[in-house]
Amino acid sequence: MNEIKNGIKYDYVDDSVTTLDWREHIRKRSGMYIGKLGDGTSHDDGIYVLLKEVIDNSIDEYIMGAGKKIEITVSEEKEVRVRDFGRGIPLGRVVDVASKMNTGAKYDSKIFQNSVGLNGVGIKAVNALSIKFEITSFREGQYSRALFSQGILQDSEQGETSEPNGTLVAFSPDEALFGDFNFNGEYIGTMLKNYSFLNAGLTISFNGTPYCSKNGLLDLLNDNLNEEPLYAPIHLKSQGIEVAITHAENYGGSFYSFVNGQHTVQGGTHLSAFKEGLVKTIKEFYKKDLDPDDIRTSIVAAISIKVQEPMFESQTKTKLGSKDMNEGGPTIKNFVFDFLKQTLDNYLHKNPETADILLKKIIESEKERKAISGIKKIARERAKKVSLHNKKLRDCRVHYNNKNERSEESTLFITEGDSASGSITKSRDVNTQAVFSLRGKPLNSFGKTKRIVYENEEFNLLQAALNIEEDIDNLRYNKVVIATDADVDGMHIRLLIITFFLNFFPDLIRQEHLYILQTPLFRVRNKKKTMYCYSEEEKEKAIKQLGSVEITRFKGLGEISPDEFAGFIGDNIRLDSVKLGKNDMIPDLLSFYMGKNTPDRQGFIIENLKAEEELGV
């Protein structure tokens, strides 16, 4: 049938309906299987999902009691190798499990219990999205190997071997899809640490570095604490569930959730049950009508549960959708509630010192909340009124995707001054990029209470723009980018904004939402070509390449025209992620860099300047 719409003829005929085979579908609709593609600069880029899909299979072997070590290497040529020492794939089905959809042993809960790979898709996605994919199974002195490229079988063989049982998967992501990507060892290390925390006794080595945990979630909590906890973490375990809980001094609250060893970064039914059950148990223990926000303020907690056949809300398994623990068993909510009611209540009765510290913390949070409740109401109204004709926030159109999840592309640039915000505003992508303009230097918030967030107009409006007053999970933008001038004042403003987030919203940094925009320091050009340079080294290379040139030194963002700026915040954007390391204790960091110890900082600066001079920097 020929259809004419808006003057355009559409031929909708039999040939318009096509059928894609499994590999074509994965390559064409890769987002369904691994989320975004990415180039490796973000921890949730697709190349890490490929690695995770392979590791998940090896973890499932360990859960079934087969193999206590996994060896992982990533070569300079970007080839990934994962070798486990489990049972190995049945030799006659090696090709099938790597290339036939809905094929695998994990549909049988007797063969694989509490598995995360239930859809028979993961390893096939790795195969289809790799330029080279090789899988070898070793079983009882025999091996079976299959080699693929972009999901197409190239070769297969079987024979005898002296290798111990297990599976070896080697793959190279396809640059035709992922572009010029690179694996970030730090991201992989964090992933493997989480795997080791959730599988006590398993050793995972990455390029020779071993990851192993003896104390499970207790080790995870200690690894993620950026300050001394108020009390020794509470560590509770039972069949199918493990939790760890403590409180810190700072604002915010961090929850880590896992299902069958899978890090569910978006939570799900188990995390919701944990939060509710925690509040309910604590209120009943103290026999007080405590506010949930006061209980959860400054908490650092983790939960891991084992579900027989988990249902996730996407193939990347970041959010649990299951309601029941297993067929015919209790609901996840009741299971978690009953566990906390029994074990946490018992722990608090047996440890009165911890119970006293916890109650004191909750009461302190309650006092502060009530003290600023009136100010908060006024501040909210002020923020709403200003936002009607708000020149400070030039919002974007898209904040959420079609699944009502925060869009990965949504970005807020925090700028200083009218000229800088004007340049970014004119050159941005209005669909995904918003701009928040600061007025002058922000207040140094070190040592201040949260009252200042509502009393200070800049902080109040920034908090409202980000939508993080009630919960960091409500953050409206996936990336929050500090865009300040490349001079002393710009660096100072950058530090003051980071201090604000560290002091009041540290989870924004812990969850890697905060970035620094790198803008060029120099424009080097001749009559034929223009090059933008981000360092002295890049400038010198450009001068050698272009010969006789004109050099412009950019001191402020306002000096860069909107047309030029479009190239710096588009596909070629350079962002540095603001991160907290294991040994970065927030109180110590803020006290040293933002406190009143000026002589100490002066000495630190002088010593580092001397070191730079000696190195010729």
pLDDT in tens, 271-288: 999 999 999 999 999 999
In angstroms, the CA 382 to CA 402 distance is 31
| pLDDT value, residue 120 | 45
Mean confidence (pLDDT) of the chain: 83
266-275, 331-340, 567-576, range with the lowest pLDDT: 567-576
- The sign of the dihedral angle between the CA atoms of 134, 137, 138, 142 is negative
Rounded mean pLDDT, 29-46: 81
With a pLDDT cut of 90, the percent of the chain lying above it is 31
DSSP state of 591: H
Residue 2 — very low, low, confident or very high, per pLDDT cuts 50/70/90?
Answer: low
Go through 183-195 and write b for each residue having 16 or more CB atoms within 10 A of its CB, e for each that does not.
bbeebbebbbbbb
Q: Please give the structure tokens belonging to residue 190.
A: 């964090």
* Nearest by Cα to 157 from 94, 219, 205: 94
Residue 391 — very low, low, confident or very high, per pLDDT cuts 50/70/90?
Answer: low
| pLDDT value, residue 119 | 43
**Count of alpha carbons within 13 angstroms of residue 327, beta-carbon side:** 3
Q: Please give the structure tokens belonging to residue 77.
A: 């040529």
Residue 441 — very low, low, confident or very high, per pLDDT cuts 50/70/90?
Answer: confident
Residue 342 makes CB contacts below 8 A (sequence gap 6+) with none
205: helix, coil or strand?
strand
- Model confidence at 290: pLDDT above 50: yes
| pLDDT value, residue 387 | 58
| pLDDT value, residue 102 | 59
The owner of tokens 């249902």 is: 311
Residue 584 makes CB contacts below 8 A (sequence gap 6+) with 226
134: helix, coil or strand?
strand
| pLDDT value, residue 22 | 73
**Count of alpha carbons within 13 angstroms of residue 121, beta-carbon side:** 16
For strands 514-517 and 479-483, give the pairing: parallel
Please provide the CATH number assigned to the domain covering 23-211.
Answer: 3.30.565.10
| pLDDT value, residue 454 | 85
- Model confidence at 172: pLDDT above 70: yes
In angstroms, the CA 311 to CA 299 distance is 28
Strand ranges of the sheet holding 522-525, from the earlier edge strand across to the other edge: 530-533, 522-525, 550-553
- Model confidence at 83: pLDDT above 90: yes
- Model confidence at 231: pLDDT above 90: yes
- Model confidence at 93: pLDDT above 70: yes
* Nearest by Cα to 576 from 520, 518, 532, 535: 518
| pLDDT value, residue 122 | 80
- Model confidence at 528: pLDDT above 50: yes
Amino acid at 6: N
State the SS3 of 165-184.
Answer: CEEEEEEEECHHHHCCCCCC
Residue 216 vs residues 136, 201, 319: alpha-carbon distances, Å = 31, 9, 21
- Model confidence at 466: pLDDT above 60: yes
Helices (H) and strands (E) in the chain, counts: 22, 24
- Model confidence at 75: pLDDT above 50: yes
| Cβ atoms of residues 82 and 72 within 8 Å | yes
Strand ranges of the sheet holding 234-238, from the earlier edge strand across to the other edge: 234-238, 241-247, 299-305, 254-259, 262-263
Q: Domain boundaries in the chain?
A: 23-211, 217-370, 373-519+556-584, 522-553
- Model confidence at 97: pLDDT above 90: no
Q: Please give the structure tokens belonging to residue 426.
A: 């004119």
In angstroms, the CA 447 to CA 316 distance is 41
292-296, 603-607, 612-616, range with the lowest pLDDT: 612-616
pLDDT single digits (tens) 314-350: 656 677 877 878 777 788 899 999 999 999 999 999 9
Please provide the CATH number assigned to the domain covering 373-519+556-584.
Answer: 3.40.50.670
| Cβ atoms of residues 84 and 67 within 8 Å | yes
| Cβ atoms of residues 502 and 590 within 8 Å | yes
Higher pLDDT, 180 or 315: 180
Class of domain 217-370: alpha beta
333-347, 371-385, 428-442, 591-605, range with the lowest pLDDT: 591-605
Residue 548 makes CB contacts below 8 A (sequence gap 6+) with 526
Top-ranked range on mean pLDDT: pick from 221-225, 283-287, 483-487: 283-287
pLDDT single digits (tens) 544-565: 998 888 998 887 777 777 787 7
In angstroms, the CA 469 to CA 452 distance is 13
- Model confidence at 576: pLDDT above 50: yes
Q: Please give the structure tokens belonging to residue 182.
A: 């690179």
| Cβ atoms of residues 397 and 431 within 8 Å | yes
Burial of 113 (0-12, 13-18, 19+ CB in 10 A): middle
8-17, 441-450, 501-510, range with the lowest pLDDT: 8-17
| Cβ atoms of residues 91 and 142 within 8 Å | yes
| pLDDT value, residue 84 | 95
- Model confidence at 1: pLDDT above 80: no
Residue 55 vs residues 117, 313, 423, 492: alpha-carbon distances, Å = 10, 20, 45, 43
- Dihedrals phi, psi of 280, to nearest 5 degrees: -60, -45
In angstroms, the CA 362 to CA 355 distance is 11
